[in-house]
């Protein structure tokens, strides 16, 4: 992670897997750059938004590759990635068509990204570290401490923060 992009990654979101942390820092830096462009132009530059979306796709594929090569079950985490990528893709199209506000989309992306790192990627990082140190026991895998009630509240929060068409 270079000094320029490292400044965009809060220390609380460092997962201690270099490849993932480097990508997270790059994604936050790209999002900050995209925000500035949107403020300057008062529009969502298609090439830059597509570039951010492609970087997210690459990042999701990296996490999946690291997890599966380590023998971790990535199915639930992967589903969340697919849902997020579909929502962002749809939102970009809606902004381009003038049906959604660009700044709502940017807030949603940033909110989703930070929350996803806190709730999923930190756990993935711990599991990957345990595997590499030989301490991972698949029978006692660390699972996020949230029950169905917390999950349903989380889903409702997602709906609340999902960008709305303008």
Residue 10 within any structural domain of the chain: no
Angstrom distance (rounded) from CA 106 to CA 38: 9
| Residue range 126-138: mean pLDDT, rounded | 80
Q: Is 53 inside any structural domain?
A: yes
Instruction: Provide the residue range defining the domain that includes 152.
Output: 15-161
Alpha carbon distance 1, 63 (integer Å): 17
How many separate domains does the chain show? 1
Q: What share of the chain is helix, strand, coil (3-state, %, to 5)?
A: 75, 0, 25
| Predicted pLDDT of residue 66 | 96
With bands split at pLDDT 50, 70 and 90, how would you rate the model's confidence at 134? confident
3 in a structural domain: no
Q: Which of 35-49, 53-67, 141-155 is predicted with the least confidence, judged by mean pLDDT?
A: 141-155
Q: Decide: 23 and 41 in contact? Cβ < 8 Å.
A: no
Phi-psi region of 162 (alpha: psi -120 to 50; beta: other; left: phi over 0): beta
- Do the domain assignments include residue 8? no
The tokens for 98 are: 């003038």
pTM: 0.78
Q: Is the model's pLDDT at 54 over the cut of 90?
A: yes
Q: What are phi and psi of 90, to 5 degrees?
A: -65, -45
Mean pLDDT of 42-48: 90
Confirm whether 7 is domain-assigned: no
Kindly report the CATH number assigned to the domain that includes residue 150. Answer: 1.20.120.50
On whether residue 51 sits in a domain, the answer given is yes
Q: Is 1 a domain residue?
A: no
């Amino acid at each position: 992670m270079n000094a320029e992009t490292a400044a965009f990654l809060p220390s609380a979101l460092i997962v201690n897997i270099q490849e993932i942390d480097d990508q997270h820092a790059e994604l936050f830096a790209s999002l900050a750059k995209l925000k500035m462009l949107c403020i300057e132009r008062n529009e969502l530059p298609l090439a830059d938004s597509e570039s951010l979306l492609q970087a997210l796709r690459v990042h999701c594929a990296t996490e999946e590759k690291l997890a599966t090569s380590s023998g971790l079950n990535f199915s639930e985490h992967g589903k969340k990635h697919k849902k997020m990528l579909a929502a962002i893709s749809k939102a970009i199209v809606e902004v381009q068509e003038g049906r959604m506000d660009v700044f709502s989309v940017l807030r949603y992306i940033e909110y989703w990204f930070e929350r996803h790192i806190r709730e999923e990627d930190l756990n993935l990082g711990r599991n990957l570290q345990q595997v590499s140190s030989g301490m991972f026991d698949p029978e006692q895998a660390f699972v996020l401490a949230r029950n169905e009630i917390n999950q349903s509240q989380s889903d409702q929060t997602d709906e609340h923060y999902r960008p709305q068409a303008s």
